[in-house]
Amino acid sequence: MFKLAARQQWDACADGWNGKSDLIRNWLRESTDAMLAMADIKTGARVLDVAAGAGDQTLDIARRVGPNGYVLATDFSPAILAFAKDNAWRAGYANVETKAEDGETFEVAEASFDAAICRLGLMLFPDPFKGLKRMVHALKAGGSACTMVFSTPEQNPCIGVLVSTVFKHADLPLPDPYRPGGLLSLGKPGLMDELFGRAGFSHVATTKVAAPFRLPSVQDYLDFVRTSASPILQILAKLDDARRETAWAEITDKLGAFNTSNGWEGPNELLLTVGRRPTI
Ligand SMILES: C[S@@+](CC[C@H](N)C(=O)[O-])C[C@H]1O[C@@H](n2cnc3c(N)ncnc32)[C@H](O)[C@@H]1O
């Protein structure tokens, strides 16, 4: 039920997320470069991109692996994946394929990929352990996976403002930030390493990366959230129109705390976790 609603919400936001590709690319440029380096993506490699969305990072991978490499971009939302396919085609990458699949249950041939990545997707899975098990299965012995998720609530305060304000206006108790499937669900210190280890990865390590959202104004951030941030919109759907507008007004006010002399800067911290499929 949770997953069906989440998929439908991502289908509905697909156009919005794709439309914000430039903004997302700027926001995640350094962390994405670091993720692809940690996954050890080389020329000619076969790479699995899980929860690929509109394929922004898919294009980076396609460029890195070159025409002799291959990228399979998967996502459970056919609507958002259609953008990934179109974006790859427009960019001239013939080495990208897409397949609509749930990240917890996808089927690919065992040991058929050199590397796997998942950018800002795994924390939304109700059972991320299952997703990591599928990645281990997909990798060749010695192949690496690298995932990117949000870290703690303290280091990602804007997400806390969004969620707490909406829940308050919906008269609901404040949810556990680490609840499964929530934006911050995998931020608890040590959890990613533990999940990678249990899923069967070796050489597991997590690196923290600062990824502040730098925008001209708080309105630009709110515009991004309103058009693209499916998990927040899913929560907002709990409110009627009047309460929703009141919630937005309060969110705008609270997020004004991050105004700077050069615009608006919302702090974010990400966790990049890498692991290898053992060779024996
Ligand atoms: C925040 S977006 C990130 C998209 C893309 N990786 C990026 O960084 O631009 C999260 C993506 O995860 C996908 N997703 C969420 N739950 C999923 C699941 N269980 N299986 C596969 N994809 C899922 C959504 O459809 C969405 O495209």
Structure tokens given for 277: 């499929």
Which of 26, 27, 76 gets mutated to test ligand 1 (max ligand atoms within 8 A of its CB)? 76
Angle between helix axes 56-65 and 21-38 (nearest 10 degrees) is: 40
Three-state DSSP at 48 gives strand
Q: How far is the CA of 51 from the centre of ligand 1 (A)?
A: 4
Report the share of the chain in percent with pLDDT over 90: 90
Domains and CATH numbers, the chain: 2-152+178-214+265-276 (3.40.50.150)
pLDDT digits 0-9 by tens, 218-228 = 999 999 998 98
- Model confidence at 237, in pLDDT bands (50, 70, 90)? confident
Q: How far is the CA of 165 from the centre of ligand 1 (A)?
A: 24
Residue 170 predicted with pLDDT over 90: no
Q: How far is the CA of 261 from the centre of ligand 1 (A)?
A: 34
pTM exceeds 0.95, yes or no: yes
- Model confidence at 230, in pLDDT bands (50, 70, 90)? confident
Q: Is the CB of 81 under 6 A from ligand 1?
A: no
The pLDDT, as a whole number, for residue 268 is: 98
Mean pLDDT, residues 83-103: 98
Residue 125 predicted with pLDDT over 80: yes
Which of 29, 58, 75 gets mutated to test ligand 1 (max ligand atoms within 8 A of its CB)? 75
**Measured from the CA of 10, which atom of ligand 1 is nearest?**
25
Q: Please report, for residues 26, 49, 89, 198, 270, the alpha-carbon distance to residue 31 in angstroms, rounded to integers and kept in the order given.
A: 10, 16, 25, 25, 8
Question: How many residues does the structure list for the chain?
Answer: 280
- Model confidence at 179, in pLDDT bands (50, 70, 90)? very high
Q: How far is the CA of 98 from the centre of ligand 1 (A)?
A: 13
Backbone angles phi, psi at 66, to 5 degrees: 75, 180
The pLDDT, as a whole number, for residue 189 is: 97
Residue 1 predicted with pLDDT over 90: no
Q: Is the CB of 120 under 6 A from ligand 1?
A: yes
Residue 234 predicted with pLDDT over 90: no
Dihedral sign (CA 208, 128, 32, 251): negative
Q: Which of 134, 152, 137 is nearest to 192 (CA)?
A: 152
Which of 3, 22, 77 gets mutated to test ligand 1 (max ligand atoms within 8 A of its CB)? 77
Q: Which of 124, 228, 226, 237 is nearest to 170 (CA)?
A: 237
The pLDDT, as a whole number, for residue 270 is: 98
Structure tokens given for 56: 């922004």
pLDDT digits 0-9 by tens, 242-254 = 999 999 999 999 9
The pLDDT, as a whole number, for residue 229 is: 85
Q: Is the CB of 131 under 6 A from ligand 1?
A: no
Q: Please report, for residues 4, 37, 222, the alpha-carbon distance to residue 23 in angstroms, rounded to integers and kept in the order given.
A: 28, 22, 13
Q: How far is the CA of 110 from the centre of ligand 1 (A)?
A: 22
Q: Which of 124, 160, 139, 158 is nearest to 52 (CA)?
A: 124
The pLDDT, as a whole number, for residue 52 is: 98
The distance in angstroms from the start CA to the end CA of the chain is 39
Classify the phi-psi angles of 278: left when phi > 0, otherwise alpha if psi is within -120 to 50, otherwise beta: beta
Half-sphere exposure of 270 (CA within 13 A, CB side): 24
Q: Is the CB of 134 under 6 A from ligand 1?
A: no
The pLDDT, as a whole number, for residue 16 is: 95
Q: Is the CB of 121 under 6 A from ligand 1?
A: yes
Q: How far is the CA of 61 from the centre of ligand 1 (A)?
A: 17
The pLDDT, as a whole number, for residue 47 is: 98
Radius of gyration of the chain (CA): 18
SS3 readout for 127-181: CHHHHHHHHHHHEEEEEEEEEEEECCCCCCHHHHHHHHHHHHHCCCCCCCCCCCC
- Model confidence at 143, in pLDDT bands (50, 70, 90)? very high
Neighbour order of strands in the sheet with 259-260: 213-215, 263-266, 259-260
